Structure 1
Amino acid sequence: MRHTIVVDLGYGDAGKGRVVDALCAESPVAAVVRFNGGAQAAHNVVLPDGRHHTFAQFGAGTFRGVRTHLSRFVVVDPLALAAEAAHLVFLGVRDPFSSLTIEADALLATPWHRAANQARERRRGAGRHGSCGLGVGETVAYGLAHPSEAPRVGDVLDPVRLRSRLAAVRDRLTASVGPLQAPSVDEVAAVFAAFRDAVRIVDGSFLGGLLRSGRCVFEGAQGVLLDEWFGWHPHTTWSTTTFANAETLLAGAPAERLGVVRTYTTRHGAGPHVTADPALDRAVPEPHNDTGPWQGGFRRGHFDAVAHRYAAEVCGGVDALAVTHLDTPERVPTLGICAEYSDLDRIPVGVRGDLAGQERLTTTLAATTARGVYRPSDWAAEIGALLGAPVVLGTDAPTGPPVIRRTLAAAP
């Protein structure tokens, strides 16, 4: 038995939801395991009958009846989770919480984390980082600053301890940021008590049994080019977006490392996007990604082979690739592939933890332009050759027919 780890090799939004849904549809899957991020994830799945859901904390295999496990690396937001579950029920999913397990050690996001995140981002003005405004990074930062007191999922089982930790979050963040628009501690504790009664909370040993019960798909959030240590700092996420967390959870169990890319490179929010082309913004409709109040605009660009090669290198390589939006080149004749930059042969891989070095790289990339954009005759084969891995799965755009094309291009 071999598990699958799905990681986005771009800036997010490459189509991980579509890919995970396809993997869960083609063969039995015991569970989708989330291994990073939180409520800011936005993995779109559109069913043939038109039903559409943006998966954030529930796994993108939910429509296929596949259970979800939120690992300790996920930031859990009970309020956002309740809203997501309600939408799934509206779409016909019966009792989504019954197929959800959550590790007790996962951090809890609170309304104060969200309010503090938004306040800090507003104060940055034109220098915004591109946050989603949901408090995920704020929750992680608080957990690093106060590791023994940060609210965790398991705390909902102890109302006294939970209330004490919620009050501490409120007080510390208010002292740091100023007055925050958020409910009272009692109101939040009541919502978290309902969360406690709705979900199954498990310890760290649970996942081992899940892995032995059948094939699991590990669903990553965001993209490698947004990685907390290797993305273009400070326009990054507070999350490890490579295969690392999943492989820690797998503890040596075999898994295929599947990298996901679009036929064109997109970026939602601030930060360098070397191949961005405003003409593509007009040519390629994007029904599920639009300008957001916190992230900013959604930018489209030619396939950035340089950046995606960097992502694969940062990850330590990929076993295979999934390419989404394969129908787009047929509809957009101006779309091409960029295999090199004007003044940079290769994006250098820095040292984990050297954020100053990543910020210097961000400055360099902001001044870099694309060169040699060309249009291949076979997009899947060309992308596989450029990234050095076989393309084993491909899909059209999420709003198109559910076309799944297997083994599109052999290894170069």
Structure 2
Amino acid sequence: MSTGPWADTNAVVVDLGFGDAGKGVTVDLLCARRRHGAVVRANGGAQAAHNVVTPDGRHHTFSQFGAGTLAPGGPVPTHLSRLMVVDPFALAAEGAHLASLGVADPFALVTVDERALIATPWHQEANRVRERARGGDRHGSCGMGVGETMAYALARTGDAPTVGDCRTPAVLRRKLHRLVDHLDALRRELGDDTHEHPDVEDCVTAYGGFARGVRIVDETYLPDLLARVPVVFEGAQGVLLDEWHGFHPHTTWSTTTTANPLALLAEAGRPGDARRIGVVRAYTTRHGAGPFPTEDPALAGPLPEPHNGTHPWQGAFRVGHLDLAAHRYALAATGGVDSLVVTHADSAAAAGDRLRRCTGYTDPAGRPLEPTPGDAPAPSHPLHPSPGRLDARAEAHLRRQGSLANALARARPVLAGGTTPPEAVAEALGVPLEAVFSGPTRSDARVVSPA
């Protein structure tokens, strides 16, 4: 397998932070530099927000469509694998915006595995009911119902709506009515006084339109695709939010490491047939609640954020100094990467001496603190079926991650120097540098040959 820059092989793009590192622009650049056959989404759902700005000034926030859709020479199609949580309403809105940017018939670009779960308005509202009930202890949910969809499917596998159900109105209708009952029971349990419901028949009709607008495929599609052309697996969120390796409970119900793409490749008889590309910002960010040892609110001014801000469910967009210790943890959790992309180098340079780098942590007593990933259980998504109840090992692991979160919330960063050049970031992490973005578009990227 070639390991040269932008090699003619499958690529896996993974965020080595808390998300928002620049996976979208990385995928856009990959697709612009050579014609991958498709972008494959293998985790998360409509809560993803991958911003791409084209050199001619068009901007789109990719959530379910692959970030190669605006690539020059024609859009790269998207495959939503069985490990995605698909939101047809959000997909429709995203497709409409892409059409307004000049993408002809966006939905013709999309194939969807019939086994993928559907996130419905009832999942979304259940998600928000739970988050409201937490009060000041919110987890930082995006409020899109992705986690609720996963939890519901694990607890009630036969009742969970799937993409394939959208072709069978009677089956879908029965499952949606059971979701209505689930939401009503949850509201009663948590004392939530909201009682509005979307209309089941309206949703059945809309989902039928979704099924006719995209191409729904079976389990043979992805292996056939991988046999024909190289693809880009576009990850969602960041390794530090991973369902098992993140800092509990401020995590996502999704495997955000390279595990899902590598598992899909293995299923297709192509184990390890991909180059893993890690993405980091030249400084560290976090959207929403949870430990953030290098956070420095004073950096918000010199590090402006045009495409991220305070979200009613996630909370504030937070900025901090480059956290090499957190990125080392992410690398260990995901099993390493083959090359590194550093984004926002221009913003970091503009911040000048105000931006520093964290080389490690100490606890409140001044003792060194180096977080390390634990031996996580299998991911809790349909790739690894679960009875919907955590076993003793999983419970113990989440307690460990919760203790780690508490330790990081009290940790003190060991800060050094000023702005760290991308080459120094790569050297510190022991990963060859592949590309540097000094602006928001693919034309602002400098591709570097890995050592």
Tell me the alpha carbon deviations over residues 202-250 of structure 1, each in whole angstroms, 9 at most, x when there is no partner: 0111001111221100000000000000101111100000000000111
Residue 393 of structure 1 aligns to a residue in which SS?
Answer: strand
Q: Does 1:332 align with 2:351?
A: yes
**Over aligned residues, Cα RMSD in angstroms?**
1.3
C-alpha separation between the residues in 1 aligned to 2:40 and 2:427? 30
Contact 1:309 1:386 in 2 (8 A): no
CA contact (8 A) 2:20 2:50 kept: yes
Residues 28-43 of structure 1: pairs in structure 2 closer than 5 A: 28-43=35-50
Aligned-residue identity in percent:
53
Contact 1:20 1:60 in 2 (8 A): yes
Cα deviation, residue 49, structure 1: 1.6
- For residues 40-89 of structure 1, the C-alpha deviation after alignment (integer angstroms, 9 at most, x for no partner) is 00000001121100000000000121000000110000011100001111
Mapped partners of 1:296, 1:278: distance in 2? 14
Normalising by structure 1, what TM-score?
A: 0.97
Q: CA deviation at 1:139?
A: 0.4
Task: Quote the residue 2:139 is aligned against.
Answer: 129
Q: What is the alpha-carbon distance in structure 1 between the residues aligned to residue 262 and residue 219 of structure 2?
A: 15
Partner of 1:407: 448
1:166 aligns with 2:176: yes
Counterparts of 1:85-234 in structure 2, within 5 Å, are 85-178=95-188, 179-234=194-249
Counterpart CA distance in 2 for 1:182 and 1:220 is 32
2:289 to 270, 280, 291: 270
Matched to 1:348, the amino acid is T
In 2, the alpha carbon distance for the partners of 1:162 and 1:393 equals: 45
Segments of structure 2 that go 5 or more residues without pairing to the other structure are 1-7, 189-193, 377-393
TM-score (norm 2): 0.88
Displacement, 1:197?
A: 1.0
Deviation at 1:312, TM superposition (A): 0.3
| 2:403 matches 1:379 | no
CA distance in 2, matches of 1:273, 1:221: 20
More displaced, 143-152 or 343-352?
A: 343-352
Measured after TM superposition, the shift of residue 181 of structure 1 is 3.0
The separation in 2 between residues aligned to 1:222 and 1:211, in whole angstroms, is: 24
CA distance, structure 1, for counterparts of residue 32 and residue 323 of structure 2: 30
Instruction: Give the partner amino acid of 2:125.
Output: A
For the 8 Å contact 2:439–2:445, the answer to whether it is kept is: no
Alpha-carbon distance in structure 1 between the residues aligned to 2:348 and 2:60: 25
> Aligned partners of 1:315, 1:25: CA distance in 2, in Å?
26
**Cα shift at 1:372:** 2.6
Secondary structure class of the residue paired with 1:40: coil
CA offsets, 1:351-376, max 9 Å, x none? Answer: 31311110010100000011133226
Deviation for aligned residue 1:342: 2.4
1:401 deviation in Å?
Answer: 7.3
Secondary structure at 2:136 match in 1: helix
State whether structure 2 residue 289 is matched by structure 1 residue 246: no
Structure 1 residue aligned with 2:370? 346
* In the alignment, structure 1 residue 366 sits paired with structure 2 residue 385: no
Question: Which digits, 9 at most, give the CA deviation of each residue in 1:299-342, with x for residues without a partner?
Answer: 11111000000000001111111111111232111112111112
After superposition, give the CA deviation of every residue in 1:149-169 in whole Å (9 maximum; x if it has no partner): 210000111111111011111
**Conserved in 1, the CA contact under 8 Å of 2:16 and 2:280?**
yes
Q: How many residues end up aligned between the 2 structures?
A: 408
Which residue among 389, 392, 399 is the counterpart of 1:356?
A: 399
Offset, 1:176: 1.9
Q: What is the SS of the residue equivalent to 1:204?
A: coil
Q: Give the secondary-structure state (helix, strand or coil) at the position aligned to 1:172.
A: helix
Say which SS state the counterpart of residue 363 (structure 1) adopts: helix
Q: Which runs of 5 or more residues in structure 1 are unaligned?
A: none
Letter in 2 for 1:112: W
